Amino acid sequence: MVSVIVTEISFTPYTYEMLRKIGDVNLPDGASEGMELALFVHTDEGVTGCSVATDSAAQTLPMLANLVVGTDPRSVRSTWNRLTARAFKAGLHGPIAAGISAIDRALWDVRAKLHQVPLWKELGGDGKPVRAYASGLDSPLSDEDLYKFYAGLAAKGVTAGKLKVGRNPDDDERRLRVMIEALSSKGGRAQLIIDANEFWSPKQAIQRIAQLEKHFDFLWVEEPTPRRDFEGLRRISDAVRAPIATGENFTDPQEFVSLFQHGAGDVIQVASHNSGFTGAGIVADMAAAFDRPVVTGPDVGNSIAHLSSTWKHHVMMEVFEMGREAALINPMEIEDGCIVLNQTPGAGIEFDEKYLASNAPSSRPMKMLGAIYGRADDAGLVG
């Protein structure tokens, strides 16, 4: 194949019902519906790259497509450089970051398909499964439903789980014990993670984590205080036993520079919305240079597992199991506690066209996470 060019970028919005309500300390009542975009990068060779985009990307994809159509889809890094340069003035955030992430991931899918290999092989990996940890986004769940969710993942061999915490210390302790019981229900030893979703002030975080550490050991504590309070994150890390994890909400790889300079993260969270697979890879390389372990956030279809499987300092990947894969055909499965990477060409993202056609958005109101989520009014307050 001498030459190939991108001929079009298209997208189709679709909705889905979540398998359970999801939420955290900032949204304790939860959300029950979601909307995503099925993104397609078309080429003159008839090979189409696919990815899942957040609905906000629809605002910028037509503009970004002008920078991609007519170019070689295999030149992914050059295209990423061109796209991120366009975001320089406004900043690599919000809808433009979402659009760049989606295009970048679809281009990597095209590239692997053109070479007729799975994405992990295109990236130089060996295809080893990626360890998963269960994440319930579980604040709205009763103790009974909390147990059911984590026991369901334990049945697939998952032994690590992350609980949403932050508001009531007695509730947090009780629910941690429920999660332990569920994760160990198949004989494994439960490993615990907690996530405060930036709810606490640094002093609150130190106090609350220290109290929980009287009874529990944690693999890490996630985002105990706002993401850009680097000094606060460092103070918390110095004061508690558990490693502090942060980074999942950054969309620009350059945002991680200050994090590393301040020594603010013991565990670095990398996600596909860090400006796509290319951006996520840049962040992971930075983490390796600072000798920091990396954990990956979830994406629809778990396609970032291809990328994280190639990093020697990767620990595990977050999985939601909340119904976001409804529009996909044969998404990657979890077996023996690990995400099993696809052996077919590409990133393993294939859309069910019938589902897309029958689940288009309507004008009815939807209780979607993106529409109702924000930091709680009492976050960081005493009392």
| Mean pLDDT in residue range 275-297 | 97
Looking at the structure, tell me whether residues 199 and 221 fall in a common domain: yes
Closest CA to 245 of 193, 291, 200, 202: 193
Looking at the structure, tell me whether residues 269 and 210 fall in a common domain: yes
**What is residue 151's predicted lDDT score, i.e. its pLDDT?**
98
Diameter over CA atoms, the chain: 67
Find the CATH number of the domain harbouring 26: 3.30.390.10
Residue 380 falls within a domain, yes or no? no
Alpha-carbon distances of 350 from 101, 119, 310, 326, 342, rounded to whole Å = 17, 14, 22, 11, 12
> Are 247 and 269 spatial neighbours (Cβ–Cβ below 8 Å)?
yes
Element (H, E) at 269: strand 267-270
Find the CATH number of the domain harbouring 260: 3.20.20.120
Provide the pairing of β-strand 338-339 with 334-335.
antiparallel
| Mean pLDDT in residue range 37-46 | 98
Final residue of a domain: which of 83, 118, 153?
Answer: 118
Q: How many helices (H) and strands (E) does the chain have?
A: 13, 13
Residue 381 falls within a domain, yes or no? no
Does the pLDDT at position 112 exceed 90?
A: yes
> Are 266 and 292 spatial neighbours (Cβ–Cβ below 8 Å)?
yes
Looking at the structure, tell me whether residues 113 and 188 fall in a common domain: no
Looking at the structure, tell me whether residues 174 and 104 fall in a common domain: no
Residue 74 falls within a domain, yes or no? yes
Does the pLDDT at position 76 exceed 80?
A: yes
| Mean pLDDT in residue range 142-158 | 98
Looking at the structure, tell me whether residues 234 and 281 fall in a common domain: yes
Residue 295 pairs with which residues in a beta bridge? 269
Looking at the structure, tell me whether residues 62 and 197 fall in a common domain: no
**What is residue 1's predicted lDDT score, i.e. its pLDDT?**
60
Residue 371 falls within a domain, yes or no? no
Which residues constitute the domain of residue 42?
6-118
Of 30-34, 152-156, 349-353, the one with minimum mean pLDDT is 30-34
**What is residue 373's predicted lDDT score, i.e. its pLDDT?**
75
> Are 268 and 294 spatial neighbours (Cβ–Cβ below 8 Å)?
yes
> Are 147 and 181 spatial neighbours (Cβ–Cβ below 8 Å)?
yes
List pLDDT tens digits, range 181-228: 999 999 999 999 999 999 999 999 999 999 999 999 999 999 999 999
Final residue of a domain: which of 118, 143, 161?
Answer: 118
Structure tokens given for 375: 């930091």
Does the pLDDT at position 317 exceed 60?
A: yes
Final residue of a domain: which of 97, 118, 139?
Answer: 118
**What is residue 372's predicted lDDT score, i.e. its pLDDT?**
63
Residue 183 falls within a domain, yes or no? yes
Looking at the structure, tell me whether residues 92 and 57 fall in a common domain: yes
Looking at the structure, tell me whether residues 59 and 134 fall in a common domain: no
Structurally, how many domains does the chain consist of? 2
